[in-house]
Amino acid sequence: MRLRIVFSFPGPSLVRWGYLNRLRGLIYAAVRGSAPEVAREVHELGLSADGKVYKPFTFSYLFPRRGEAHRDGIVVWGEVEWFFSTPIPALAEALAAGLLMMEEVRIGDVACGVERVEVMPPPECGGEMEFKTLSPVVASTGVRRGGKFEKVFLRPDQPDFARVLRLNLRRKHLAFYGGEPGGDVEFEFHPPFKSKMESVRGTKVRGFQMRLTMRGDPSLMRVAYEMGLGERNGQGFGMIEVAGRGRG
């Protein structure tokens, strides 16, 4: 289930870079305000498979209709779009209700209002589909250096990038549906690849924005669309949209 949320900024406001952390906090605050039991389950439990725990949601960058990028952030005014996606309808409903209950929404030290919340119709997944990223896709692997393993963030033009995404999708499918998918999925990544570095709780995380084509199992495409592609989806990474739909 995907939500399109429209914020309204009454005048020019500086939203500082690194705002994915603040949007994540807004999600939990809104859900906690309308459905505390849903917030507890998502925050404390998540979904698990093969020893990995996945948060069952993802969300996008902010997309202002009018805005200017600056060194410290982006100055926005008027309407700003934001997208949230989850395979759990109760979570999307709790977020929508919680946001609409708030008299004022704060993204860090910036205040705005919620103009409207809309449910977006899901795409018909299957065959060959082209997507665009609404937030950076993250894929990493471990390499041995000096006798210890270090995490390395992968690029879309490296062979392991697709392998990591494919394994991640299969694990999410197992976690949510309780079984292996009936098929597999192939990726084709279309340059240019835009590298984005974000700070998540003091850790630098590198992801990439791009267009990509997916072919294969419809259930895996649906997992990618609803839960996000790649790693750290619950921190605002890996949200994709069908090319030609929505903003971005």
- pLDDT the model gives residue 80: 97
Domains and CATH numbers, the chain: 2-120 (3.30.70.1890), 127-242 (3.30.70.1900)
Report the pLDDT value the prediction gives residue 246, as an integer from 0 to 100: 59
Q: Is the peptide bond before 192 cis (omega within 30 degrees of 0)?
A: yes
Q: Give the closest residue to 195 by CA, choosing from 138, 123, 246, 150.
A: 138
**pLDDT of the chain, 248 residues: tens digit per residue:** 999 999 999 999 999 999 999 999 999 999 999 999 888 887 766 666 667 778 899 999 999 998 899 999 999 999 999 999 999 999 999 999 999 999 999 998 899 999 999 999 999 998 999 999 999 999 999 887 777 778 899 999 999 999 999 999 999 999 888 888 989 999 999 999 999 999 988 889 999 999 999 999 999 999 999 999 999 999 999 999 999 775 55
Which pLDDT value is given to residue 177? 87
The answer to whether residues 53 and 47 touch, using CB atoms and an 8 Å cutoff, is: yes
pLDDT for res 42: 77
pTM, whole model, 2 decimals? 0.93
CA nearest to 181, candidates 169, 189, 194: 169
Position 45 scores a pLDDT of 61
Nearest in space to 20 (alpha carbons), one of 67, 66, 74: 74
